[in-house]
Each structure stands twice: as C-alpha cells, then as structure tokens.
C-alpha cells in the first residue's frame, strides 16, 4: 500500500468521526458527543504522531529538506492541538456555540492541511521513501 | 520546539488579502447607486454599470483571493507580496473609478487614464500569477484551472482594451466580434472557470463532501478553453449550447456534492452556495438565447447574482478563517471564527441578499419601476452589511498588537 493511500484513508476516518461528534453536539446529546469527540481526538493525535515520529523525520533525512513543508505541517499540528483543547473545554461546559465555532476553525485548518499533505507531501514521500516499510512502521503504532 | 509563526512562511500577510475584501462591497454599493440613478434619469449606460460590478467587485475579490490561494492551495509562492498586492489593488480601484467616469462622461482623458491603470495593473497581476503557476511541476485540477483562467483572463482583458481603443477612435475593429469574445473569455473563461476550479477544492474542504469526479475536474479547464475558443471563432447557437451544458453540469454536480455533505450543521454559506448554483442554472439555460437583447440583460442579471452569492459565501469564510489563522500563528490569543463574524450576522445578510436577488429578477420580468426601487434598496443594504461584516472581521486582526517581524516577512 502507498503512503498516500494509507494516510489519506486515516484523514477520511477522522473527518467521519468529527462530523458525527459535531452532529451530537448539535443535538445536545452530550454523552454521545463526549464519546465521539474523545474518539476523534485520539485518532487525530495518533495520526499526527505517525507523521511527526515516523514519516517526517524519514522524509527530512531522505530528501534533505528540513526547513520546508514538514516544519509547516508540524506547526499546523500544534495549531490543531490548541483547538482540540478549546473544543474539549467547550464540551466540559456544554457550550454548544463555542464548540461549533472552534470546530469551524479546526475543520478548515485540518482540511487545508490534509490537502497539502495528500497532494504534495505524501506523493513526494512515496517517490523518495520505501512506501511498504513506512506503512508497516506507522501501522505498528496502532490503527486510526 | 516549533517556533510559532512558521506557517506564515507560506501564507501571505493578512493585509494583502484584506485590502481587496474591504473595498469590493463598496463597489457593490456604487453599482446600486448607478442603477438607481438610471431609474430616475435615463439613459441607461450598461457598460458603466456592468464594469462597476465586474471590475470593482468581481475582479477585485478574485485577484485578492488568488494572492492567498496561489501559495496556500496551489503551492506557487509569490515573493514579497505586499507591494505587488498594493500595485494590483490600487490600479484596479482607481482604474475602475476612472473607467466608470469615462463611460458616463465620454471624456477621452478619463478613458485613456483608466486604460493605462487597468491594463497595467491587471496585466501585471495576471502575468505575475500565471508565470508562477506555469512553473509548477505538478498540478491539481484547482491549480490547473487557475492557470487556464488567468490565461483566458488576459485574452478577455485584451479584447476590452481594444474595444476602449476603438471607442477612442485609435483602432478600427469588428466591434460585435470583440464584444462576444470579451464576454465569453471573461464570464466563462475567467469567472466561471475560476469559481469552478476553486470549488473543486473548497467545497470538499469546507463542507466535507465527496470529491468531484476526477475526470470532470481534470478536463474542465481544457474543455472550458476549447468551448470558449469555439464560441469566439464559430459563434452559433450550437457553441452556446456547449458552454451551457458544461456549466450546467458543474452546477448540478456542485448541488449534488452539497446534498451529500457529511457535516450537516446549518450553515448560511451552504445556503449561499445553493442560491448561487440556482442562479447559475437559470443563467446557463438562458445563455443560448441571448441573441435577443432583453434575454441578454436577464442573463447578465442572473449571472451577476450567481457570482455575487458565491463571492459572499467565500468571503464570509475566508476572512474569519484568516483572522483566526494569523492571530493563532502569531501566538496571540485568537478569537474563534464565530466571534470574528457572528453566524447570525451572516444569516441576516444572506436573507437580505436573497430578497434583493429575487426582487431584481421579478422586477426585470414585470418591469415595475417601484419594485426595482425596492430591489436596489435591498441590494444596497446587503452590500453595506457585507462591508460592515468584513470590515469588523478584519479589524479584529488589525486592532491586535502584532509582532512585525512575523507578519511582515516575505
Ligand atoms: Fe499532518
Ligand atoms: Fe496527515
């Protein structure tokens, strides 16, 4: 399996869970919202870890590009993590407006981030790295 | 440790985009005022009205959005964008004002001035972006579409330049041929193609929908270019049908994506997209029959409402997102998107726009002057709401203290 395929599927699974969590918040079904959001957060953070701990270092080593796209990606992960905290707080206080508002930023941030990865970074990785080996290493961290 | 502000390496400073988004609604107000003046005092000067809208509003917002999207979405970085955006924006705004004055007064000095400013500014911006795009190694349907759209844009502008020159009596040309080319290249090759190319990416991104069919989005830029060329050199009912079918299928596919979106939260921007696609459908059904002047005018009105609805949807998302993005990247406490522009504000603006757009179509068909007055009043109100909303959003960014080194780099 290619890196593009493997990680793109993870993006889609995260989107799916987020859409469900958002719906639960909209319905003010807080138990379901909490459960789904927790699942979304875990999946997203695991996905970030696969990239930051395995894919990006290998990418930097093989291509020699250190201060380029991977740094931008890491920074956007940090921005996303801040928003995840905000969302969690909104859930704790059952603040629907705040959840949806921070969620809007998170969604756009993540979607444009994912597109850059899917269209530029992952294809470059497939070109320069051994895809099989990478996918194997990333799978060892768990499934999203 | 990840230094904060790094992602700004790719995104241009906020002011680059903000300047375009603050002035474009004002040209909307100006076009309502012009239309209003025609109601009380003939004659009706179509070019002045149309260009207030197409240059002051549409071209401005589209070029502004490209300054943001080229680096972030297409991966084509424009170095040192601040002065470039300044040149592009100022020449567009001043050139448009002069052109309107020139059309209304017939003064050749104003027309010459506008020609210099507009041609200079638009060629400069279009070529700058076009040459960044042709250097890309790989293309998505979006970046390919942008490249084609900018290419067709320069051809369309050139037809416009030639027509103004013929108005000034410096060249002799077949006016009808160039007018048709000017319209086909700019409305379809530029506006429709650019909106579609952007939609290929942002519809999926903003609303989490299934993607457009790959073949469709991949072939779209080429198909548009081919049909526009056919419609220019072999203009007939048949070539118009081809153009209609192409954009009708885009509208239908977009509506289908939106219906299948996974995020189901109520969102005024979805409603704006539906409305825009509805107007595009109506406009494109009429397009093959635009030989008749009355139908041509109705087509323009529907097309304008299509572009305006989509532009509103885009700006009400882009501005809050960018304000949040830049503030959070600079490490300051960033307000969330709903705090930057309240959804209730956008809903209200949507409803006013909805009333304005339907009233205008009804007034056109019924030819009641009094209805037109109401329609224009609603348009003016809608543009003022848009202006205030976007300005307030932008000010949330500019009022915060900034670390200059970060926000001004590149
Ligand atoms: Fe990532
Ligand atoms: Fe990713």
**Do A79 and B205 count as a contact with CB atoms less than 8 A apart?**
no
Percent of chain A at pLDDT above 90?
Answer: 74
Burial class (CB in 10 A: 0-12, 13-18, 19+), B344: exposed
Picking from B262, B265, B339, the nearest residue to A15 by CB comes out as B262
Residues B68-122 have pLDDT tens digits of: 999 888 878 899 999 999 999 999 999 999 999 999 998 999 999 999 999 999 9
Residues A47-59 have pLDDT tens digits of: 999 999 999 999 9
Question: How many angstroms is it from B331 CA to the middle of ligand 1?
Answer: 20
CA distance A114 to chain B (A): 9
Residues B43-60 have pLDDT tens digits of: 788 999 999 999 999 999
pLDDT in 10s for each residue of chain A, 144 residues: 899 999 999 999 999 899 999 999 999 999 999 999 999 999 999 999 999 999 999 999 998 888 778 988 998 999 999 999 999 999 999 999 999 999 998 998 998 899 889 888 899 899 999 999 999 999 999 988
Q: What ipTM is given for this predicted complex?
A: 0.82
The pLDDT of B185-211, averaged and rounded, is 92
A25 and A93 Cβ atoms separated by less than 8 Å = no
Question: Measured between CB atoms, does A60 come within 8 Å of chain B?
Answer: no
Specify the pLDDT at position A88.
95
**Do B265 and A100 count as a contact with CB atoms less than 8 A apart?**
yes
Specify the pLDDT at position B41.
80
- Which domains does chain A carry? 3-139 (1.20.120.520)
Question: How many angstroms is it from A51 CA to the middle of ligand 2?
Answer: 7
Question: Measured between CB atoms, does A117 come within 8 Å of chain B?
Answer: no
At residue B170, does pLDDT exceed 80? yes
A120 and B75 Cβ atoms separated by less than 8 Å = yes
The pLDDT of B250-278, averaged and rounded, is 94
If you write DSSP's letter for every residue of B59-107 in order, what string do you get?
Answer: IHHHHHHHHHHIIIII----SSHHHHHHHHHHHHHHHHHHHHHHHHH--
Question: How many angstroms is it from B298 CA to the middle of ligand 2?
Answer: 47
B208 vs A contacts (CB less than 8 Å): 15, 18-19, 107, 111
C-alpha torsion B103→B109→B112→B117, nearest 10: -90
**Do B6 and A79 count as a contact with CB atoms less than 8 A apart?**
no
Residues B10-32 have pLDDT tens digits of: 689 999 999 999 999 999 999 99
Specify the pLDDT at position B9.
53
Omega within 30 of 0 (cis) for the link into B43:
yes
Question: Measured between CB atoms, does B72 come within 8 Å of chain A?
Answer: yes
């Amino acid at each position: 399996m290619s890196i593009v395929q493997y990680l793109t599927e993870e993006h889609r699974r995260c989107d799916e869970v987020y859409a469900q969590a958002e719906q639960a918040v909209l319905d003010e079904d807080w138990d379901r919202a909490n459960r789904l959001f927790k699942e979304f957060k875990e999946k997203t953070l695991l996905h970030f870890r696969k990239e930051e701990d395995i894919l990006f270092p290998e990418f930097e080593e093989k291509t020699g590009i250190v201060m380029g796209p991977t740094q931008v990606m890491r920074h956007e992960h940090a921005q996303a993590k801040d928003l995840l905290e905000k969302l969690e707080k909104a859930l704790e206080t059952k603040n629907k407006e705040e959840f949806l508002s921070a969620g809007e930023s998170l969604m756009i941030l993540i979607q444009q981030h994912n597109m850059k990865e899917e269209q530029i970074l992952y294809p470059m990785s497939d070109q320069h790295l051994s895809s099989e080996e990478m996918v194997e290493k990333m799978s060892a961290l768990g499934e999203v | 440790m990840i230094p904060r502000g790094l992602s700004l390496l790719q995104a241009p400073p906020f002011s680059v985009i903000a300047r375009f988004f603050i002035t474009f609604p004002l040209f909307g107000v100006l076009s309502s005022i012009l239309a209003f003046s025609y109601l009380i005092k003939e004659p009706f000067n179509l070019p002045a009205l149309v260009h207030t809208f197409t240059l002051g509003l549409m071209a401005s917002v589209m070029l502004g959005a490209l300054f943001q999207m080229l680096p972030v979405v297409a991966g084509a970085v424009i170095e040192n964008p601040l002065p470039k955006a300044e040149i592009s924006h100022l020449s567009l705004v001043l050139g448009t004002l002069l052109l309107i004055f020139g059309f209304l007064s017939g003064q050749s000095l104003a027309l010459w001035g506008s020609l210099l400013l507009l041609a200079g500014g638009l060629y400069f911006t279009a070529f700058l972006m076009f040459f960044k795009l042709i250097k890309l190694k790989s293309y998505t349907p979006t970046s390919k579409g942008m490249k084609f759209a900018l290419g067709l844009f320069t051809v369309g502008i050139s037809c416009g330049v030639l027509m103004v020159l013929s108005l000034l009596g410096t060249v002799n040309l077949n006016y009808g041929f160039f007018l048709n080319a000017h319209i086909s290249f700019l409305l379809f090759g530029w506006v429709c193609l650019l909106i579609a190319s952007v939609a290929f990416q942002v519809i999926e991104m903003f609303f989490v929908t299934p993607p457009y069919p790959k073949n469709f989005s991949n072939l779209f830029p080429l198909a548009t270019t081919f049909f526009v060329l056919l419609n220019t050199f072999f203009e007939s009912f048949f070539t118009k049908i081809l153009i209609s079918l192409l954009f009708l299928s885009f509208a239908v596919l977009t509506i289908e994506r939106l219906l299948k979106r996974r995020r189901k939260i109520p969102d005024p921007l979805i409603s704006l997209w539906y409305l825009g696609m509805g107007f595009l459908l109506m406009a494109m059904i009429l397009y093959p029959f635009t030989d008749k002047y009355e139908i041509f005018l109705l087509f323009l009105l529907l097309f304008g409402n299509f572009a305006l609805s989509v532009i509103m949807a885009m700006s009400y998302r882009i501005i809050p997102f960018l304000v949040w993005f830049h503030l959070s990247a600079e490490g300051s406490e960033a307000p969330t998107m709903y705090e930057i522009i309240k959804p209730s504000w956008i809903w209200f603006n949507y409803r006013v726009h909805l009333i304005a757009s339907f009233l205008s179509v009804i007034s056109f068909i019924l030819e009641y002057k009094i209805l037109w007055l109401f329609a224009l009043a609603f348009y003016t109100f809608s543009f003022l709401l848009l202006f205030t909303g976007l300005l307030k959003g932008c000010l949330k960014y500019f009022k915060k203290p900034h670390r200059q080194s970060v926000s001004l780099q590149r």
